[in-house]
Chains A and B, each alone.
Chain A
């Protein structure tokens, strides 16, 4: 436990140093972006002074980290709004989107992957395998554009973009569906293939043969004894893919104009809103480390052998 926590802290610390330095080294002047073409060199310098950019790097770094520890991410250079509240709002949106995408991916992948494995010698299995191959190759924004073209423009069933808060019920679902499917599409294909190979492995195991000989059908045996074992490698992949989903969300947020963390990050980089970029990167690092931690925890739930070790 102590090892895990110190590992976590070390990762986040290193990431703060890396992002801090990278942003200071990048070409482009935050003062110039904020003040625009009207600014005189004096005004630019006054702005830098006001925003603490003239102090030594080490001082700036420790001031920022000090704020982080208090939960204060600072104030955005451009919007003059508190970054912590902006990041919290945006994070909620992106998390909902990412979790929804992963759920959709799992709902599609687990049954399809299992069928593909069980029917691997039949047409249905081969077809599913082939489609998943295709699905990996199609980029998620293309899926998004196609979905919008069909469901929003042609049929008019769903909105072409935008976001509604969860409190708005049906509207929330209508805005969530297409981007979640688009974001989850590639994951669904990848996971289908993993589920398929994991299930194929399991089907060869002795304990399944024992289950069959006890009188269970192939399907029942798989469900009762097989899936939990297949779950372990699949869960590893899910954990790794979550990071990919968080990044993939950036593009989907742009296509569907969703006010999430990804679009906030891209806009802030373009505007050299340094504190905002730093805040988002730190949050993303923490999120990914936490996700991996949760995956490890889930392992112990799935596999009793690991519980003793933990």
Chain B
């Protein structure tokens, strides 16, 4: 008995002292002795990229990390939603709207060391139609690109398009090195301020600032993006100091603990993701406008936002975020009116309606669905929740096979109003015969007419309510109060890292 217990005692004493010593040694903190910070940053996100190739793989996490950090385009969009020059110093548009002449910045290099020239512009834009499998339609109007000089590129379209230049700030406008596309999935080569140094799948991606970056040096030299499957694990990491910042945080009920903490800052930014209630416009009962309107009137969107997403987010009346130039406040179009809802249901002859609500397995969807079901019950609509595994089953059943009545989803892409409602084969099945000619005309018209035309289109769609816009999803950023320059609004799909620095 004695020699076992002595051995045990010695071993446990050794283990404990090792633990204590390890704990006392330098921890995960990046603080130097005087309390100032090293130029490194650790970010926590839920949602890891499958790989680095957004040309053939879908999934918002890829451009979130890659766009504007590793890759750059000729133009970019700022925090207010306005187009700004990036790799192009300036550009002019011909009067007929068909020719764009871009003057490129000089001294730009890729992370491989190769120079960025107009040849790369031609290469990158023309390969969208031939080599990409995602977002190809955004280059539909590209005719060809001419290399006028090493720093001048001429892009010719088949017809004028106001949406095209905005799309150039998204993934399809990213510039690739002709010799750098051999292994896009694992080795991205771009002109951006950062290069990828490490990808440990399931754990983190490491970025390092480039010494040879053409533009203003980024605020951080090293950025580690850590991926968490679990929201609680990510907030624990923030509280323990293992990460400095949480981006696109998807557990708003956990945010309040940080609001009252002076060492932390909470940014309630906007995103381009609208939470919507899509309805199958091609089948009963939602092929009847009155029934869709009844659903819209039955929802108290403010109460829904407060209950389901702790009030973080913006109320919208159409699937258009406030950062879009043709945004209008249409919140009063279908203001909460359960009485009106019941009237419409009676008029349509569908009292005591029973519907299936396909709810994807995502935190926002499950949170929203509970509130929706009770609000719909108030007007006599019995909605049964059908939990649909996301992405595999939801994409298959609802999106591709259109086997659904109503669902809840986040329409996360920027400017997705038209791809969603101007395409009659899309899963919602909205009849676009009225808006199609208006869209055609507006896209080819001068800018101001385009804005007016799009406002009209948005209003028509909002009035027809093929899907009820519930709220604009927030981009919640929780970070150390010592950080500054955080781009809190997600105006394209990108998480812009270059401006972040320690105070």
A contact set with B: CB distance below 8 Å: 27-30, 32-39, 41, 43-44, 47, 78-81, 86, 90, 107, 111, 145, 148-149, 152-153, 155-163, 170, 173-174, 177, 217-220, 222-223, 254-260, 263-264, 266-267, 270-272
Contacting residues, chain B, for A32 (C-beta < 8 A): 391-392, 395-396, 399-400
CB-based contact A28/B393 at 8 Å: yes
Given the complex of chains A and B, what is the CA–CA distance between A80 and B187 in angstroms? 12
User: Measured between alpha carbons, how far is A49 from B272 in the docked complex, in Å?
Assistant: 34
Alpha-carbon distance between A271 and B11 when the two chains are bound, in angstroms:
45
Task: Please give, as numbers and ranges, the residues of chain A lying within 8 Å of B389 by CB-CB distance.
Answer: 27-28, 270
Contact yes or no, B201 A39, CB < 8 A = no
| A33→B392 contact, CB < 8 A | yes
Q: Are A79 and B51 in contact (CB under 8 A)?
A: yes
Give the size of the chain B interface in residues (CB under 8 angstroms).
54
Given A32-B392, A34-B58, A263-B202 in contact, is the A254-B229 Cβ separation under 8 Å? yes
Among the stretches B233-241, B248-256, B368-376, B430-438, the one at the interface with A is B233-241
B58–A161 touching, CB < 8 Å? no
A254 to B135 alpha-carbon distance, docked (Å):
32
B392–A78 CB distance below 8 A: no
For B1, give its contact among A86, A160, A219 (CB under 8 Å).
Answer: A219
Contacts A32-B395, A163-B203 known; 18 new A-B pairs at CB < 8 A: A35-B133, A47-B133, A79-B201, A80-B51, A81-B51, A111-B8, A148-B236, A149-B236, A157-B19, A157-B23, A159-B27, A160-B242, A162-B204, A219-B1, A255-B232, A257-B227, A258-B202, A267-B202
A174 near B395: Cβ-Cβ < 8 Å: no
Closest chain A residue to B409 by CB distance?
A37
Question: Is residue B113 within 8 Å, beta carbon to beta carbon, of the partner chain?
Answer: no
Task: Report yes or no: B230 in contact with A78, Cβ–Cβ below 8 A.
Answer: no
Interface centre among B4, B5, B232, B395 (most CB of A within 10 A): B395
For residue A174, which residues in chain B have a CB less than 8 angstroms away from its CB? Answer: 22-23
Residues of B contacting A38 with CB < 8 Å? 58, 133-137
> Could you give 27 example pairs across A and B, Cβ below 8 Å?
A27-B389, A27-B393, A28-B392, A30-B392, A33-B392, A35-B133, A35-B134, A37-B58, A38-B58, A38-B135, A79-B185, A81-B201, A149-B236, A153-B240, A155-B23, A157-B20, A159-B27, A170-B25, A173-B18, A173-B22, A217-B1, A254-B230, A254-B233, A255-B230, A255-B232, A257-B228, A267-B202
**Whole-angstrom distance between the Cβ of B51 and the nearest chain A Cβ:** 5
- For the complex, what is the distance from the CA of A107 to the CA of B15, rounded to whole Å? 12
**Do B395 and A223 have beta carbons less than 8 Å apart?**
no
Chain A residue contacts of B59, Cβ below 8 A = 36
Closest CB pairs A-B (n = 3): A219-B1, A36-B58, A28-B392
Contact of B4 among A39, A44, A223, A270 (CB under 8 A): A223
Whether the Cβ atoms of B229 and A263 lie closer than 8 Å is yes
- Is residue B186 within 8 Å, beta carbon to beta carbon, of the partner chain? yes
